[in-house]
Amino acid sequence: MIMPSCETCGTAIPYPFTCKFCGGTFCSMHRLPEAHECQFLPDRRISAPHEVSEVRASEAISPPEDREPLPYTEKLSRIGDHESKRRLRIVVALCVLLIAMPIIAGYFSYGLGYDTGYNSTSVSSYNAGYYKGNASGYELGCNVGFAQGNSSGFEGGNSSGYETGYNVGYTKGLNDGAGHGYNIRDPTYEEMMNFIASDQTNKNQYNSSYVCWNFAADVINNAFEAGYRCGFVNIELSNSGHAIVCFNTIGHGIVFIEPQNDNVVTLTIGQPYNAGSGFLPTSDTIVRYAIIW
C-alpha cells in the first residue's frame, strides 16, 4: 500500500489534509490554501455590504473533478529531494555539534582548572613571590643606599670635619706654642684691623733717629705682645729704600700695612710705592721686596 504524499513538498503523510478549494492532498505545513499557493483561492477584496452575497455566490466554486493527481514517479522524486535535504540538515547539525563540543568542553575545563589552581595556589604563590622579591629588593636597596650614603656622608663629613678640625687644631697649636716655641698666631682679617686701629705706633714722629725701620719694628713687637705674628717687609726702591709690615691673615692672605699711617697698601714690582702719606718721592718705583717673619 502506497502512502499518500504532499503535492507541494512530496512528504509521505499517513493522515493527509484535503484543500476545500482545489481538492489537493497536503501535509500539515502546506494544508492552508496560502501555504500551497492554491489557484482556486477566492479573491478576498473588501466589498460593499450589499455586494457580499453576490461576491460569495460567484466565488463558491467547486473543486474541479477533472484534476489529475501527480504522477507516481514525480511524487517519488519529490520525496527523495525532501529526504536528501533532511539528511543534509542532520549532517550539518552533527558537524556543528562535533566542532562546538570540544570548544565548549575546553572552555569549561579551562575555567574549572583556572579556578581550582588559583584558589589552591594563588595565596601561597603570591606570598612566596612577595617575600622573595621583598628580600631581594631590600638587599639591593640596602647595598646601593649604603654605598651612596657612605660616599656622600664621607665627603660632607670630611670637608666639614677638616675645616672645623683645622681651625680648632691650628688655634690650639699656636696657643700651645707648637712648631716655634712662641704663643703667637696668624690673625684673621678682622683681628688684624682691630689691632692696627688700637696700636699707637703711627702717632710717633718721624725724624733722623726714628725712621721707617723703627716704625716697622715697634708694630712687630706690639703685635707679638698681642699674640699675632707680624712680618717685616724690606722694600728696595729705584732711588732709596723703605720698610713696612705685613700679616698673613686667615681668610684674606698676606696684607701689607704702612705703619706710619696704618693704611693698607699694595706692592707691585715696577710701580711707584703709594702709601697715601706723600713722604716718598713718586718717582721711586719698587724694584723688589722681601718679607722676614
Across 5-29, average pLDDT:
89
> What pLDDT, on a 0 to 100 scale, did the predictor assign at position 116?
67
pLDDT at position 230 over 70: yes
Q: Lowest-pLDDT range, 29-43, 94-108, 209-223, 263-277?
A: 94-108
The more confidently predicted of residues 140 and 211 is: 211
Across 176-199, average pLDDT:
83
Average pLDDT score over the chain: 79
Yes or no: say if 16 and 39 are a contact pair by the CB < 8 Å rule: no
* Structural domain of 59: 17-70
pLDDT at position 50 over 70: no
Q: Is residue 6 part of a domain?
A: no
Most confident of 117-121, 197-201, 237-241: 197-201
Confidence of residue 210 (pLDDT cuts 50, 70, 90): very high
Q: Is residue 262 part of a domain?
A: yes
State the total domains in the chain: 3
Q: Is residue 172 part of a domain?
A: yes
> What pLDDT, on a 0 to 100 scale, did the predictor assign at position 57?
45
Across 283-291, average pLDDT:
91
Same-domain pairing of 169 and 194: no
Same-domain pairing of 48 and 120: no
Same-domain pairing of 137 and 209: no
Torsion of CA 98, 100, 103, 105, to 10 degrees: -70
> What pLDDT, on a 0 to 100 scale, did the predictor assign at position 48?
47
pTM of whole model > 0.75?
no
pLDDT at position 75 over 70: no
Same-domain pairing of 151 and 237: no
> What pLDDT, on a 0 to 100 scale, did the predictor assign at position 53?
46
Yes or no: say if 143 and 137 are a contact pair by the CB < 8 Å rule: no
Percent of the chain surpassing pLDDT 70 = 72
pLDDT at position 159 over 80: no
Q: Quote the CA–CA distance of 78 and 71 in Å, as a whole number.
A: 11
Domain-terminating residue out of 119, 153, 181: 181
Q: Is residue 90 part of a domain?
A: no
> What pLDDT, on a 0 to 100 scale, did the predictor assign at position 55?
45
Same-domain pairing of 160 and 193: no
Across 68-96, average pLDDT:
70
Q: Is residue 78 part of a domain?
A: no
Domain-terminating residue out of 159, 181, 203: 181
Q: Quote the CA–CA distance of 244 and 266 in Å, as a whole number.
A: 11
